[in-house]
């Protein structure tokens, strides 16, 4: 499908507020996978009930449409991406955009229909739905499966872009975009997080630590 113009422009800040409200986005002292001491932590695994997953899916759907990335199918890499892609497909249908979805098994099935892809056949322009990008491993595996099926990777949609350097000067999302030649878009970025915090008297005090962290590890948008 060719994505139309978004129906709303303020969903990114609303998503950050939502993540704070249910404790998915937290502030304090946390250690990242890279071993860095981070003043904030985003744990998408805490979207673990029907209400929060439904609301999350609506934000994914809004971000997919707002990205203007044309896509024909959603793909969710195992395991977190399975729930995210299926829920996003439901949310898109509720917005009047019914698109198929599929996901992969970690191990190929040797009975029944066999194979390791479940759901709609991989075809056309495929948008990968995931929570975050760290090392880019799931995107790399997804891209290989999509191309092996004769389909075209259209882009990657994640929940939050930390806009943080990986091993080099680029962020993990920038590395993926450069390596595979596809756009990587997020519901919200660290810029959106900071804008939200600055507007709240109760959380404005978290801004200096996050800005200092970004000064040390951040990348340009």
Domain at 11-217: CATH architecture: 3-Layer(aba) Sandwich (3.40)
Q: What are phi and psi of 126, to 5 degrees?
A: -110, 125
- Give the pLDDT confidence score for residue 2 in this predicted structure: 54
- Among 31, 48, 68, 109, the active-site one is 109
What are the pLDDT digits (tens) for 119-166?
999 999 999 999 988 777 889 999 999 999 999 999 999 999 999 987
pTM: predicted TM-score of the whole model, two decimal places: 0.90
Residue-averaged pLDDT of the chain: 91
Q: What is the pLDDT of residue 3?
A: 47
Confidence class for position 34, pLDDT limits 50, 70, 90: confident
* 109 catalytic per annotation: yes
Q: How confident is the model at residue 209 (pLDDT cuts 50, 70, 90)?
A: very high
Q: Looking at the predicted structure, is the pLDDT value of residue 57 above 90?
A: yes
84 and 60 Cβ atoms separated by less than 8 Å: yes
Q: Where are the domains of the chain?
A: 11-217
Give pLDDT tens digits for 107-118. 765 555 557 899
Q: How confident is the model at residue 8 (pLDDT cuts 50, 70, 90)?
A: very low
Residue 111 bears catalytic tag: yes
Within 10 Å of residue 197's Cβ, how many Cβ atoms? Answer: 21
pLDDT score for 137: 83
């Amino acid at each position: 499908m060719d994505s139309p113009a978004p129906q709303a422009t303020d969903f990114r800040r609303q998503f950050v507020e939502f993540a704070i409200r249910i404790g998915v986005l937290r502030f304090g002292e946390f250690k990242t996978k890279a071993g860095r001491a981070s003043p904030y932590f985003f744990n998408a695994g805490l979207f673990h009930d029907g209400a929060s997953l439904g609301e999350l899916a609506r934000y994914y759907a809004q971000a997919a449409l707002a990205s203007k990335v044309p896509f024909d199918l959603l793909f969710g890499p195992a395991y977190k991406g399975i729930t995210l892609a299926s829920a996003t497909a439901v949310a898109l249908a509720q917005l009047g955009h019914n698109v198929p979805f599929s996901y992969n098994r970690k191990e190929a099935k040797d009975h029944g229909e066999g194979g390791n892809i479940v759901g709609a056949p991989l075809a056309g322009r495929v948008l990968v739905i995931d929570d975050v990008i760290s090392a880019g491993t799931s995107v790399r595996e997804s891209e290989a499966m999509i191309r092996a099926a004769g389909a075209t990777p259209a882009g990657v949609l994640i929940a939050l872009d930390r806009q943080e350097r990986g091993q080099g000067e680029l962020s993990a999302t920038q590395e993926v975009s450069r390596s595979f030649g596809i756009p990587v878009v997020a519901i919200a970025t660290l810029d959106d997080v900071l804008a939200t915090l600055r507007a709240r008297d109760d959380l404005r005090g978290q801004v200096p630590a996050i800005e200092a962290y970004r000064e040390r590890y951040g990348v340009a948008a």
